[in-house]
């Protein structure tokens, strides 16, 4: 299974998930590693391997991946400017 993960810290996870919902209204939630571990254990399964890798994307390409090309990206940019420095410097896991 492969999926995106959210930070363990609730405030950062909520921010990441909010930004994802802005970009993709069908987004429900990205779960943290510990939440995935709980789901797996709760289903009676065993996690045998966990791998992580960083994905870097150009903002405009990322924003337009789901949103229509005429979507105003200024709303996201305001969030990015307001919280961006803190979010960029905070470990996500």
* pLDDT tens sequence across 11-43: 989 988 988 887 778 889 999 999 999 999 999
* Average model confidence (pLDDT) across the chain: 77
Q: What confidence tier does 85 reach under pLDDT thresholds 50, 70, 90?
A: low
Residue 15 in domain: yes
Q: Positive or negative CA dihedral for 74, 76, 79, 82?
A: negative
Residue 53 has what pLDDT? 83
- 3 occurs within a structural domain: no
How far apart are the C-alpha atoms of 81 and 93, rounded to whole Å?
Answer: 22
Total domains present in the chain: 1
Q: Which residue has the higher pLDDT, 18 or 93?
A: 18
Q: Is residue 1 part of a domain?
A: no
Q: Residue 55 is part of which domain span?
A: 10-89
């Amino acid at each position: 299974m492969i999926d995106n993960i959210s930070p363990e810290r609730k405030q950062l996870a909520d921010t990441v998930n909010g930004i994802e919902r802005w970009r993709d209204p069908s987004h429900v939630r990205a779960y943290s590693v510990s939440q995935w571990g709980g789901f797996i254990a709760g289903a009676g399964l065993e996690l045998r391997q966990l791998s992580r890798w960083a994905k870097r994307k150009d903002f405009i390409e990322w924003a337009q991946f789901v949103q229509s090309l005429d979507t105003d990206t200024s709303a996201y940019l305001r969030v990015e400017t307001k919280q961006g420095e803190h979010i960029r410097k905070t470990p996500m896991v």
